[in-house]
Structure 1
Amino acid sequence: MRAIAELLIPQLEFLNEEGAQAEVWALSRIFLDTLVKETGQKVKAIFPDAGAAALLKYQWTDAGFKCASLSDRKPVDVEDEVVVMVIPDHQMVESVERIASQLSDDPIRPLVMWNPRLVSGDVGVGFNVRNLRRNFLSTFTTVYSMRPLPTGAIFRQYPGKWKVFYDDPNRPNRYLLARELVSRPDATDIEIIFGGGDEQSEEAPSLMNNVMGVFSSMSRFMKVISK
């Protein structure tokens, strides 16, 4: 009932750059349209601010879902069957928690966060606050995740395991499965898998080699997403 779908692509991290937000909204539209088509339910998309919600309502007149913003007096209505929060950040965590609590009441409805940024590394954010945010995030299941790496990628599609891939040295633009894990791989896991510190990944290239390859890897994934 609480899910996270994420595309951890650097292009989606810098929303202040020219054209970046338009690309993010376009990708979110693909996700929202697919969700409506696959579930057949009434989907409500909640965007970070009223300006973005108003603009997208104007542009997406043919959308099969409704748009709202966190600043709306009542962003969630009784008739909403699935709620998707698009890129909620750490400044909105209280509003997100309030909506999550509301959706947990009768009738219980699913809440999906698309590319959430609820955990901030800002120095001004206290340890207790960060812990509260992480505890809140722990109530969600990551149902889809894709993260390009310099020489591969991390991928998860629920209910499958987390998978770490590396570039196939013999077949350009192809990948080999390096490892499957029950939980999200952390930096240590990645270092072991790509650094050759584990016997099961002897053929995997070093993570520190060909760092510039990250750009071509991202490009390939973006092409796949846009198809």
Structure 2
Amino acid sequence: MELENFDTDGAQQQLWDCSRLFVKSVQKRFQNQKIKAIFPDMGAAAYVKFQWKDETIKYGSLNDRKPVTDDDEIIMLIAPDHQMLDQVQKIAYSLLDDDDMQEKPLIMWNPQLFSGDVGIGLNVRRVRNEFLRTFTTVYSLKPLPTGAIFKRYPGLWKIFLDDKQRPGRYLFAREQASKPDAEDLEAILLQGSAPGDEPQVPSFLANAMATMSYLGRFMRALSQ
């Protein structure tokens, strides 16, 4: 899931609570494997280690001198952001150089490795995109101001739009093999607009306030 805008009071707690559910599901699936959960910084790692006293996993951060050790069997990167892309790449490449790489999967939960900074050069974007294409997206749910993007492996990427006639419900718009980009979304949104409608561009604050609401609504709609 692509959870964003966690700058408000209590939002970080919500983020780590969500990540804990995912970590516990991996623990349940791989009970005999040694799991290492790596967080964006040492403060976050220390916080969850104190909060998750009942967990039997190891903790680390991307700031550690050696985030991954030889006895780690499953490596989970929790909410890495674009500022930590270099560290994420080093971990991934170190596993490729490991003779036991088949036994050491690298899992990323809620990665935010894309940056909206206009100053980022084309070469940096190309390297980042090529690196991210080496991963398989198993599950993705991205709320949008007017809909959502959803994928569950091995299915295709699906795009949903808000149902204007039934608030809180969604209409299936399209599915495709590749992840929808800005041009795909713009074309679909324009097709879904009624004649004469003015494009609505929500403010940053409105997007931030609506993210969790859209996520909850979309999950409920999927279950119906």
TM-score bucket (shorter structure) = 0.7 to 0.9
Q: Which residue of 2 aligns with 1:163?
A: 158
1:175 equivalent to 2:170? Answer: yes
SS in 2 for 1:119: coil
Q: Which residue of 1 aligns with 2:15?
A: 24
1:44 equivalent to 2:10? Answer: no
Q: Which residue of 1 aligns with 2:138?
A: 143
Q: 1:23 to 1:223 in 2, by over 3 A?
A: farther
CA contact (8 A) 1:151 1:217 kept: no
Q: Which residue of 1 aligns with 2:25?
A: 34
CA contact (8 A) 1:151 1:166 kept: yes
Map 1:1-227 → 2, pairs under 5 A: 6-7=1-2, 9=3, 12-15=4-7, 17-40=8-31, 41-104=33-96, 105-108=98-101, 109-122=104-117, 125-196=120-191, 208=199, 218-222=212-216
Q: 1:137 to 1:191 in 2, by over 3 A?
A: same
Structure 1 residue 223, shift from structure 2 partner: 6.5
TM-score by structure 2 length? Answer: 0.80
Aligned residue identity for 1:221: L
Q: What runs of 5+ residues in structure 1 fail to find an aligned partner?
A: 1-5
Q: What count of residue pairs does the alignment treat as equivalent?
A: 213
Structure 1 residue 45, shift from structure 2 partner: 0.7
- What's the % identity of the aligned pairs? 50
Deviates more, 1:126-135 or 1:105-114: 126-135
TM-score by structure 1 length? Answer: 0.79
CA distance in 2, matches of 1:210, 1:48: 31
